[in-house]
């Protein structure tokens, strides 16, 4: 009997990792890092199964909460292929090297602090993995085209389909045979939003025996794109009048390119003043270049613009900031500037230094354009915390805080339901994952009520037989 085990993104949004076993074949779908506080410890635990007993990894996309434990998996003995799309293969290398160097810095920082505090050896002072470990897994990254079937052994076959969530993102259809029975399992991965700019729409499926569906926004509807863009213009204009700076904490992959895309559009419409814009993230800069190198993966409009040499991710007044010195120099500029920097949830990176300079200024604003997981500095700020701790010091929050949900790269409740509605004969089971507990539960309840299907919200470590 084929079996699935939920090794992450179970009643939380990070740490996506699912093990499928059928007739001796073991396949892992995603191998992500937990980024929410109480669950982060899990990343340090040994793998629940021996890594050398897994035949292949299917990687839906490059985001760290889906890919971040690959270097550890390989270091601990996994030597099979890691299948993903060509764009994901390029992006994930940038993301894993960055993650590894942050792990290394973090470990050094902790070691220093523990030494000062006389707590030598307090856990964890070693990085979860190093840049060396990250590089060691690159040769196993194996590119496949959308729709191309990949044999994973005598009894398992996979194919990737456009998920419309990030450049190169995929949904995975896995066919397994066990005891003479075939089962089709569809993993939504992170599902994008139909009709959204830049990327193509998510693929729909007419048949599936089992579905593993994300539920990040399973309890909410997004505001329409036009409303989000006018809210962005309003926030920028307000801050320009007040004379402060505009900080946009942003993920290097996808959200940074979207912000550039919309800023470009607003500038062309003369809806915002021509301020200097700093993309203060070497990683976001490299990934933006990949968008321009892979127009075939983008929607028709964006593809056309890039092929005509008018990249929507570039405009007059945009400065690409690569070095730390250049980044620091931004703080000395008088007058309003727009700073886009990582990390998206303010858990690390250059955004922290810009927050230190701006968070206590009532004339500045911080625009949150991405999801803020619980237990992160970003979440604390959007929740209205009057004071926050950044780099070991407390600061009052006086800047204007604006939260946007309309930029989300995830389908909302209605879009998730519509996507499932394409499956003609009801699936044998639906597992709702990748959502905070309340969102996942709410979505599961709604889906079961509307369809009468068997819907469940697995716990971390739960296993289910795919009967
Ligand atoms: Zn994602």
Q: Are residues 201 and 249 in the same domain?
A: no
The answer to whether residues 250 and 339 belong to one domain is yes
> Is 48 strand, coil or helix?
coil
| H or E stretch at 318 | strand 318-320
Examine the domain organization and report whether 381 and 427 are in the same domain: no
Nearest 5 degrees, angle CA 35-CA 136-CA 7? 35
Residues 353 and 280: beta-carbon distance below 8 Å: no
* 61 C-alpha to ligand 1 centroid (Å): 7
Helix or strand or coil: residue 206? coil
Residue 384 C-alpha to ligand 1 middle, in angstroms? 26
Instruction: Quote the ligand 1 centre to 67 CA distance (angstroms).
Output: 10
What secondary structure letter does DSSP report for 222? P
Residues 61 and 193 in one domain: yes
Q: Are 101 and 58 found together in one domain?
A: yes
At residue 374, the pLDDT reads 84
Q: For residue 56, give every residue at least 6 positions away whose Cβ sits within 8 Å of its Cβ, in sequence order, or none.
A: 27, 28, 80, 81, 82, 83, 152, 158
SS3 96: helix
Find the CATH number of the domain harbouring 381.
3.40.50.10890
Length of the chain: 467
> pLDDT (tens digit, 9 = 90+) per residue, 88-147?
999 999 999 999 998 898 888 878 877 887 776 656 678 999 999 999 999 999 999 999
The rounded distance, in Å, linking the Cα atoms of 234 and 114 is 45
Q: In this structure, what CATH number is given to the domain that contains residue 111?
A: 3.60.15.10
The CA 19 to ligand 1 mean position distance, Å, reads 19
Are residues 36 and 142 both part of a single domain? yes
Q: What is the pLDDT of residue 410?
A: 95
Q: What are phi and psi of 70, to 5 degrees?
A: -60, -45
One domain for residues 306 and 425: no
Separation of CA 411 and ligand 1 centre (Å): 11
Determine the average pLDDT of the residues in 144-160: 95
- Tally the domains of the chain: 2
Between the CA of 107 and the centroid of ligand 1 the distance, in Å, is 26
- Write the pLDDT tens digit of every residue in 44-61: 999 999 999 999 999 999
- pTM of structure: 0.92
Same domain, 282 and 170: no
- Nearest alpha carbon to residue 159 among 178, 146, 169: 146
pLDDT of 378-401, one tens digit each? 999 999 999 999 988 999 999 999
Q: What's residue 298's pLDDT?
A: 95
How much distance in Å is there from the Cα of 299 to the middle of ligand 1?
18
12 Cα to the center of ligand 1, angstroms:
13
pLDDT over 70 percentage in the chain? 99
Per-residue pLDDT of 274-300, as tens digits, reads 999 999 999 999 999 999 999 999 999
How many Å lie between the centroid of ligand 1 and the Cα of residue 190? Answer: 5
Q: What is the pLDDT of residues 298-357, one digit of tens each?
A: 999 999 999 999 999 999 999 999 999 999 999 899 899 999 999 899 988 899 999 999
**Cα of 332 to ligand 1 centre, how many Å?**
35
Domain that holds residue 195: 3-220+409-465
Question: 197 and 244: one domain?
Answer: no
Regarding whether 127 and 185 lie in a shared domain, the answer is: yes
The residue from 403, 422, 440 where one domain ends is: 403
Q: Are residues 205 and 246 in the same domain?
A: no
- 132 with 232, same domain: the answer is no
* 154 CA → ligand 1 middle, Å: 31
Boundary (domain end) residue, out of 354, 378, 403: 403
* Cα pseudo-dihedral 203, 208, 213, 218, rounded to 10: 80
Tell me the CA–centroid distance for residue 275 and ligand 1, in Å: 30
Domain end point (choices 354, 380, 403): 403
Beta strands 18-22; 25-29: pairing state: antiparallel
Distance 431 CA to ligand 1 centre (A): 18
- Give the separation between CA 189 and CA 232, rounded to whole angstroms: 28
Helix (H) or strand (E) holding 403: strand 400-403
């Amino acid at each position: 009997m084929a079996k699935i085990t939920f090794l992450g993104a179970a009643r939380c949004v990070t740490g996506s990792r699912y093990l499928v076993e059928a007739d001796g074949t073991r396949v892992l779908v995603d191998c992500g890092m937990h980024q929410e506080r109480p669950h982060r410890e899990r990343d340090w635990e040994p793998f629940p199964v021996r890594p050398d007993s897994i035949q292949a990894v299917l990687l839906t996309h490059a985001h760290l909460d889906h890919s971040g434990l690959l270097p550890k998996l390989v270091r601990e003995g996994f030597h099979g292929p890691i299948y993903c799309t060509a764009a994901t293969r390029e992006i994930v290398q940038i993301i894993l090297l960055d993650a590894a160097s942050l792990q290394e810095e973090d470990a050094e920082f902790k070691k220093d602090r523990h030494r000062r505090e006389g707590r030598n050896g307090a856990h964890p002072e070693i990085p979860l993995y190093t840049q060396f470990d990250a590089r060691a897994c690159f040769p196993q990254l194996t590119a496949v085209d959308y729709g191309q079937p990949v044999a994973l052994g005598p009894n398992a076959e996979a194919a990737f389909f456009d998920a419309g969530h990030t450049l190169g993102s995929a949904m995975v259809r896995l066919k397994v045979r066990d005891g003479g029975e075939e089962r089709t399992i569809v993993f939504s991965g992170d599902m994008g939003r139909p009709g959204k700019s830049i990327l193509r729409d998510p693929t729909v499926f007419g048949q599936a025996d089992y579905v593993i569906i994300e539920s990040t926004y399973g309890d909410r509807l997004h505001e329409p794109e036009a409303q989000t863009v006018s809210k962005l213009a309003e926030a920028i204009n307000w801050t320009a009048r007040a004379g402060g700076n505009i900080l946009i904490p942003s993920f290097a992959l996808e959200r940074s390119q979207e912000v550039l895309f919309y800023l470009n559009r607003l500038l062309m419409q003369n809806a915002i003043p021509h301020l200097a814009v700093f993309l203060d993230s070497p990683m976001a800069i490299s990934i933006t270049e990949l968008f321009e190198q892979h127009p075939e993966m983008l929607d028709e409009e964006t593809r056309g613009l890039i092929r005509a040499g008018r990249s929507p991710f570039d405009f007059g007044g945009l400065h690409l900031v690569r070095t730390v010195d250049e980044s620091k120099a931004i703080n000395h500029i008088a007058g309003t500037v727009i700073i886009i920097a990582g990390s998206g949830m303010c858990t690390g990176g250059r955004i922290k230094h810009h927050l230190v300079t701006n968070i206590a200024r009532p004339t500045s604003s911080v625009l949150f354009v991405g999801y803020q997981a619980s237990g992160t500095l970003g979440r604390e700020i959007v929740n209205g915390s009057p004071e926050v701790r950044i780099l070991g010091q407390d600061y009052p929050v006086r800047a204007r805080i604006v939260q946007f949900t309309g930029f989300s790269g995830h389908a909302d409740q209605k879009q998730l339901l519509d996507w499932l509605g394409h499956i003609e004969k009801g699936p044998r089971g639906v597992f709702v994952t990748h959502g905070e507990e309340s969102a996942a539960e709410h979505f599961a309840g709604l889906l079961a009520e509307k369809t009468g299907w068997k819907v469940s919200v697995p716990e971390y470590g739960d296993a289910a037989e795919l009967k």
